[in-house]
Each structure stands twice: as structure tokens, then as C-alpha cells.
Amino acid sequence: MARKMSISELEDQLLCPICLEVFKEPLMLQCGHSYCKSCVVSLSCDLDRQFLCPVCRQAVDCSSSPPNVTLARVIEALQVMGESNPTQESCPVHHNPLSLFCEPDQEVICGLCGIIGAHRQHKITPVSTVYSRMKEELSVLLTEVQQQKRNLDEHMSKLVNNKIRIANESDVFKWVIRKEFQELHHYIDEEKASFLESTEIKAARLIASIESHVKQTSDTLTKLKEVESSLEKLNNESQLDFIRILFHSAAIQRGVIHFCFYVF
């Protein structure tokens, strides 16, 4: 049993050999091959002239090339079903669909551009093939971009986590520093108070000792002044009175001498 052909496979069988698009106004040449009317006109420049069939290279008379009605009806039926190829842009030179891709020039062209146009003898690839290839390349590129994006997302997540961790650690460290310095300030304040109190006590003791010595010295000076006054008064006595007083005051002399030794 013959295999059932799908619509897409049928369309592949209905492509013009020149423009590689579904036939438009197909003409059947004397050799039996069919082409789009616009492609035949582009090759022969006139339907009244002869030209070589691009497929079999047989010389044919374009004036004896009737429309291929059956082929046109099949194509029309496909178009009515809405499954024909989408409308494409036309070549500005040959007015045929841009269905081919010139690899060296990286340009979309029509079938005639590759046969008789500026792109003849170039490496020509169907647009559908180029489209599939570029879609695969785009898919690979998209995968790489997505992988890069995932890597950057992971890197960004790590940076954010590090930022949060450092901020938290910084807060804890600042709290520890404040606590340590508060304790240090408290210790310094206690030591300062202790040193101030000790200094004040020592200073008070020294001042009291000095004041005691000052009082003793003042008392001594007072007594010395009294002695000095007595001696000066004795010095002014007459000779006999001086001797009598001094003789009878031997004890006083010894007290004065003893007092002087005590002071100095």
C-alpha cells in the first residue's frame, strides 16, 4: 500500500525549480517541466522566444507553453485550506519570492538571482535551511546566555549574602567594642577615683605634718624672740648688775643653750 503523503510533503513537490517557491501561474513547457510564469518571463525576457529548460536543458518554444491548469488547481486548493507558505518579500530585480540565501554575500535572494543574477555560482542555501540553522545557533546562544544569567544570579546571591553577613558581623563587633570600652572606662574611672582619693589622703597628711611643723617652728620663734629680748635687756645692764644677773641666771643660760641645741 502506498504511503499517505502529508500536505507539507505535497507542497515540497509543488515548488518551482527556479524560485523554489510554490508555483504561481504555472506554465508547462514542451519538455514537460513546469515553472512559474514570472520565472519563465525572467529567463526568456519574452514568452515568444525560445530558451533552454533549466532542468533538462532542452530548447523549448515559450509560445507553446500552456498554463498547467491541473497544477494551478491543486495549488489553489492548498491555498484555500490555508496551509500554503506565508507570503514573502519579493526580489526588487526579478520580483520573485526571496526564498534563497547567498552564503558568501550573506544576503537573501530569489531563485533567478542565483541562476542569472549577481549571485550565480555562489553557494546558495534555501532560506528554510538557513532559518533552521540560525534557530539552532540562536538556541545554543540562548542556552549560553541563560547559563551566564544563572551564574550571575548565583554570584549576585553570594554578594548579597556576604553583604548581609558582613553587616551583621559588623554590628556584633561594634557591640563588643562598645561593651569592652564601657568596662574599660568603668575600670579607669574606678582607678582614677582611687588615685585621687589616695593622693588627697597623702596630701592631707603631708599638709597636716607641715602645719604641725609650722606651729612648732612658730612657737620656737616666739620663745627665741623672748630670749633675744631678755638677752638684749641684759646686755644693756651695768657691769655689776650684768655679772650678778648672769651669775644668778646660770640655770637660765643652760636652758637657753639647751633650747638652742634642741631647735637646731
Whether residues 154 and 253 share a domain: the answer is yes
pLDDT band of 175, cuts 50, 70, 90 = very high
| Cell output for 113 | 538571482
Q: HSE (CB half, 13 Å, CA atoms) of 235?
A: 6
Whether residues 259 and 138 share a domain: the answer is yes
How many CB atoms are located within 10 Å of the residue 24 CB?
16
Whether residues 52 and 141 share a domain: the answer is no
Look at the chain and report how many structural domains it folds into: 2
| Cell output for 231 | 638677752
Name the least confident of 95-104, 166-175, 180-189.
Answer: 95-104
Average pLDDT for the chain: 79
Is residue 99 in a domain? no
| Cell output for 142 | 540562548
For residue 72, pLDDT beyond 50: yes
pLDDT tens per residue, range 32-67: 888 888 888 777 665 566 677 888 888 877 777 788
Higher-confidence residue of 190 and 94: namely 190
Average pLDDT over residues 186-195: 90
Do 263 and 224 meet the contact criterion of CB atoms below 8 Å apart?
yes
Is residue 206 in a domain? yes
Domain enclosing residue 189, as ranges: 134-263
Whether residues 144 and 75 share a domain: the answer is no
* Distance from C-alpha of 144 to C-alpha of 146, rounded to nearest angstrom: 5
* Distance from C-alpha of 43 to C-alpha of 33, rounded to nearest angstrom: 15
* Distance from C-alpha of 57 to C-alpha of 214, rounded to nearest angstrom: 147
In whole angstroms, how large is the CA radius of gyration of the chain?
A: 65
Do 72 and 124 meet the contact criterion of CB atoms below 8 Å apart?
no
Instruction: Give the global pTM.
Output: 0.39
Is residue 149 in a domain? yes
Average pLDDT over residues 220-248: 78
Share of the chain above pLDDT 70, in %: 80
